[in-house]
Structure 1
Amino acid sequence: MKAPTKVIRTDKWQLNPTPDQKVLLGETVKAYRRACQYLVGIIYTHWSELGELTADQLTPAVERLMHQTAKRPNVKYPQFNKTFYKFPSYLRRAAFAKRRLRRIAFSAGQVSSFVTRYREWQSGNRKRRNAKPPRLNADTGCYPALYKGQCYKLHGYDQIEIKVFNGSDWIWTTVQITGLRERHLVATNKMMSPSLVCNERYCHLSVPFACKPEKRKPKANVTAVDLGINTTATIAVVAHDGTVIHRYFIHPGRDIDRRDKRLKSVSMRASKTMGKGGKLHKEFCSLTYDKCRRINHQIGHIVSKRIVEIAEQFNSEAIVFENLKGWKPKGGRKRSNLRQRFHGWLKAKIRNFTEMKWAELGGKVIEVVAAYTSKLAYDGSGTVKRNSKKYSLATFPSGKRFNADLNGAYNIGARGVFKLTRRNDGEGRSSKSSGRPPRSWACLCDLWARVAPD
């Protein structure tokens, strides 16, 4: 029996430190980063013997090199205890070890990554012939992991007591928690060690949870999703007998307009900068592109959240998407914005966000063949004809006019049902050898035929 996949999700807990507390939290992060830089040098120097050790063996091996105790007064690098006076043991181990919940070691990870990349460079595996060798960079951003009892004490969910560095000693300070999500309220979720994220702009705790979703007892239906550019997501809840229980359209137009307006400004600024010729510098409009990426990120979360809510409302067996991996857009007519619109098509982002949210509830996401989902009429009448002026409108061979995206969602749902029930062999559409479309091109009418009386 296959073991259930462990689901790890992270919440952000907003902190509201006083100005003095913010200075202390900043000093704590700086002290942790200095310790990581120090340990990177030690681990790299002894990587020939440390690189072959497991995570559990790595911790005591590094401590034998730099941590003095009563039973071990002589170590090779005694400067660590002098430089980092009273440095908490749990923070020290977090800087180079893997904990039991498989938190990746920062310092050891930095060294391992560098060694791997350097060996590839030596072997000639390079992007360019004159590519320079990689460098071991110990001065990278990292944040301390806090361990319960040793580094933090939680007082309800309003306050947290954190051990911080004041420049000469480690002391405790109580910080207000002003923002939470809901994962800590789920009884089956197990809170793991949070990380203290503090910089010039904000302070918060990044709190991971090991989620154990309850075993579901779904109803005999699937939630099918057709992702498009005219309508961001078209949803149809399809039962096993071919009944369409629910349908819904998701299109956050305000956010899409905000993004497209900014992208349009880029082309205008580019034309003014270059004129009729010339080149743009590498960081041209980088802030605008960053803003557009964040808007896309928000759109992905808005759409995926609504998809999961509908699937949860109807207790669906699975959420069904088209398999669009490797799909590449084709350009439209001259001077049309079709190619730009396809670049704003968040097919992968929405699908991935949906899978992450749905897995947390114990559900699964499946993919079906994308060919002819919107091209074949769901009633089995044949190939639809798209309206040239309004592409979202489809006309069936019977003369019926229907929404093309909704027609595609119906067919996606039918294919999802066949994939779940494994009943698509011998029923519905036959293989290509019979002169009819292949079984993977099933339509909604094939579900009707399966349950129809002889």
Structure 2
Amino acid sequence: MKTPNKIIRTDKWQLKPTPEQKLLFGETVKVYRRACRYLVGIIYTHWSDLGSLTADLLTPAVERLMHQTAKRPDIKYPQFNKAFYKFPSYYRRAAIAFAAGLVSSYVTRYSEWRSGTRKRRNASPPRLNANTGCYPALYKGQCYKLHGFDQVEIKVFNGSDWIWTGVQITGLRERHQVASNKMMSPSLIFNERYCHLSVPFNCKPEKRKPEANVTAVDLGINTTATIAVVTHSGTVIHREFIHPGRDIDRRDKRLKSVSVRASKTMGKGGKLHKGFCSKTYQKAARINNQIGHIVSKRIVQIADQFNSEAIVFENLKGWKPKGGRKRSNLRQRFHGWLKAKIRDFTLEKWAELGGKVIEVVAAYTSKLAFDGSGKVKRDSKNYAHATFSSGKRFNADLNGAYNIGARGVLKLTHRNGSEGRSSKSFGRPPRSWASLCDLWATASPRLA
């Protein structure tokens, strides 16, 4: 899995405005959104001329249509300066950039709809919605002034004029402390629930000098994530089980309440209305996000602690769960399996540190014993337990993590991308079905 070339991450800087400043922020957001709606109409009207321009040329082209100056007294839309008196130039340019992006997106989607690229045959055409919930982007020196990391001055609208107001910063993260990170223009996020600066950073991680090991991750249902740090010689130097049970119970309790309320609503028959228990589903989705961040954060911490070459996951794309026995909750548990979410969050966090994530073939990672003794037998009462052909009892998820780590090492060390045995002789397993014992076999000649 390739890491993105350009890494943009956003921090949230909490603000503590006074009641008077809250009114100023509300007025600023309100007038900025009005300006964006006005500019959407202008840009869409002249999109045939503006659509082919680059971002650097589009902004002055729009200003020539609506911004009156001493050198440019005659313009096509003089109403803008009258409706938005003393509107700051950098707020105006930010609004132009937002409105142009909105129009460009609409034109593209409408062209695709006309060409027949639709989710449904009877899909309605897209609409140009200028009434969007955008927030003002702030340019350094013109829209905001940073005084250390304790206070920030922001240019705001008081109803008749644009003034500066200083507001306290009460909480921020650590990305501003990294010397290689470049701070970009923040946005002022203000509504009834939130008041903070959304601060993007262009992250440029330093070149890593990793150790000869990988961090293997087995994503399961009984245990959310099982970690094994495997060296190139096949030595397991760390193992760990990550399972935020409290958050999982909170999520499952809410989802269980949905079925109870559904039975009370429908009785023995009937149909649920659209949006039934939508708030509960949204809450469960937010808990899933929290679980994904907790697990991925710990995975990256382990990989960073052991300075691993890569984090290794199974390639589970396209995998579909099979239901269990009658009246079992296995299918519901598979729906709560956060395999893609944890992998994606891990990729984002690990890429910020300059690491890479790779995927290996998922077949037979848990079915083959890591010691090469053949297939394992899973316990019917407790699927997390496995029995080797030698009679040895072992954790099935940990066995899978060992094999995932071995395949990751082989994928990194073999130029042809092979993940296992190079032999194609009859009766041997496919080369992608490597186990931990294959690393022992390749390491033994070197040790000798």
Which range, TM-score by smaller chain? over 0.9
For 2:186 and 2:417, locate their aligned partners in 1 and report how far apart those are by CA, in whole Å: 50
Do the aligned partners of 1:430 and 1:436 also contact (CA within 8 Å) in 2? Answer: no
1:67 aligns with 2:67: yes
1:9-158 matches, cutoff 5 A: 9-97=9-97, 106-158=98-150
303, 307, 320: which one pairs with 1:315?
A: 307
For 1:178 and 1:150, locate their aligned partners in 2 and report how far apart those are by CA, in whole Å: 23
Superposition TM-score, scaled by structure 1 size? 0.95
State the Cα distance separating 1:22 from its structure 2 match. 0.7
For 2:363 and 2:293, locate their aligned partners in 1 and report how far apart those are by CA, in whole Å: 27
For 2:313 and 2:106, locate their aligned partners in 1 and report how far apart those are by CA, in whole Å: 38
Do the aligned partners of 2:149 and 2:169 also contact (CA within 8 Å) in 1? Answer: yes
- Partner of 1:367, secondary structure, is strand
> 1:427/1:365 Cα in 2 relative to 1: closer, same or farther (>3 Å)?
closer
1:164 match: 156
Do the aligned partners of 2:406 and 2:434 also contact (CA within 8 Å) in 1? Answer: yes
Do the aligned partners of 1:189 and 1:210 also contact (CA within 8 Å) in 2? Answer: yes
- 1:227-269 CA-partner distances (Å, limit 9, x unpaired): 0010000000000000000000000000000000000000000
356, 359, 363: which one pairs with 2:351?
A: 359
| Structure 2 residues without counterparts, runs of 5 or longer | none
- 1:353-400 CA-partner distances (Å, limit 9, x unpaired): 111111111111111111110111000110111000000001111111
Do the aligned partners of 1:237 and 1:245 also contact (CA within 8 Å) in 2? Answer: yes
Give 2:148's aligned amino acid: G
> 1:336/1:365 Cα in 2 relative to 1: closer, same or farther (>3 Å)?
same
1:413 match: 405
> 1:262/1:428 Cα in 2 relative to 1: closer, same or farther (>3 Å)?
closer
1:101 match: none
Give 1:42's aligned amino acid: I
Do the aligned partners of 1:430 and 1:437 also contact (CA within 8 Å) in 2? Answer: no
State the Cα distance separating 1:136 from its structure 2 match. 0.8
Do the aligned partners of 1:427 and 1:450 also contact (CA within 8 Å) in 2? Answer: no
1:249-264 matches, cutoff 5 A: 249-264=241-256
- Partner of 2:274, secondary structure, is coil
1:277 aligns with 2:269: yes
2:319 match: 327
Give 2:391's aligned amino acid: G
Please give the root-mean-square deviation of Cα atoms over the aligned residues, in Å: 1.7
Do the aligned partners of 2:411 and 2:419 also contact (CA within 8 Å) in 1? Answer: no
For 2:292 and 2:4, locate their aligned partners in 1 and report how far apart those are by CA, in whole Å: 27
State the Cα distance separating 1:74 from its structure 2 match. 0.6
State the Cα distance separating 1:216 from its structure 2 match. 0.8
1:386 aligns with 2:387: no
For 1:263 and 1:240, locate their aligned partners in 2 and report how far apart those are by CA, in whole Å: 43
> 1:143/1:233 Cα in 2 relative to 1: closer, same or farther (>3 Å)?
same
State the Cα distance separating 1:318 from its structure 2 match. 0.5
For 1:315 and 1:138, locate their aligned partners in 2 and report how far apart those are by CA, in whole Å: 49
State the Cα distance separating 1:3 from its structure 2 match. 12
State the Cα distance separating 1:119 from its structure 2 match. 2.0
Do the aligned partners of 2:40 and 2:102 also contact (CA within 8 Å) in 1? Answer: yes
State the Cα distance separating 1:161 from its structure 2 match. 0.4
2:289 match: 297
State the Cα distance separating 1:24 from its structure 2 match. 0.5
2:328 match: 336
1:210 aligns with 2:202: yes
For 1:141 and 1:152, locate their aligned partners in 2 and report how far apart those are by CA, in whole Å: 21
| Structure 1 residues without counterparts, runs of 5 or longer | 98-105
For 2:322 and 2:223, locate their aligned partners in 1 and report how far apart those are by CA, in whole Å: 18
For 1:4 and 1:31, locate their aligned partners in 2 and report how far apart those are by CA, in whole Å: 36
Do the aligned partners of 1:322 and 1:368 also contact (CA within 8 Å) in 2? Answer: yes
State the Cα distance separating 1:127 from its structure 2 match. 3.3
Give 1:55's aligned amino acid: A
Superposition TM-score, scaled by structure 2 size? 0.97
Give 2:362's aligned amino acid: A
Give 1:67's aligned amino acid: H
- Partner of 1:115, secondary structure, is helix
Query: Once structures 1 and 2 are overlaid, which stretch shifts more, 2-11 or 382-391?
Result: 2-11
For 1:142 and 1:301, locate their aligned partners in 2 and report how far apart those are by CA, in whole Å: 27
- 1:76-99 CA-partner distances (Å, limit 9, x unpaired): 0111111111111111111123xx
1:184 match: 176
Give 2:18's aligned amino acid: T
> 1:109/1:418 Cα in 2 relative to 1: closer, same or farther (>3 Å)?
same
For 1:115 and 1:386, locate their aligned partners in 2 and report how far apart those are by CA, in whole Å: 56
- 1:279-326 CA-partner distances (Å, limit 9, x unpaired): 111111011001000000000000000000000110101100011111
1:429 match: 421
Do the aligned partners of 2:12 and 2:199 also contact (CA within 8 Å) in 1? Answer: yes
> 1:115/1:424 Cα in 2 relative to 1: closer, same or farther (>3 Å)?
closer
Q: May I ask how many residue pairs the two structures share in their alignment?
A: 445
Give 1:51's aligned amino acid: G
For 2:14 and 2:417, locate their aligned partners in 1 and report how far apart those are by CA, in whole Å: 53
Give 2:301's aligned amino acid: E
Do the aligned partners of 1:424 and 1:439 also contact (CA within 8 Å) in 2? Answer: no
- Partner of 1:330, secondary structure, is coil
> 1:66/1:439 Cα in 2 relative to 1: closer, same or farther (>3 Å)?
same
Give 1:358's aligned amino acid: W
For 1:168 and 1:425, locate their aligned partners in 2 and report how far apart those are by CA, in whole Å: 66
Do the aligned partners of 1:429 and 1:442 also contact (CA within 8 Å) in 2? Answer: yes
Do the aligned partners of 2:3 and 2:347 also contact (CA within 8 Å) in 1? Answer: no
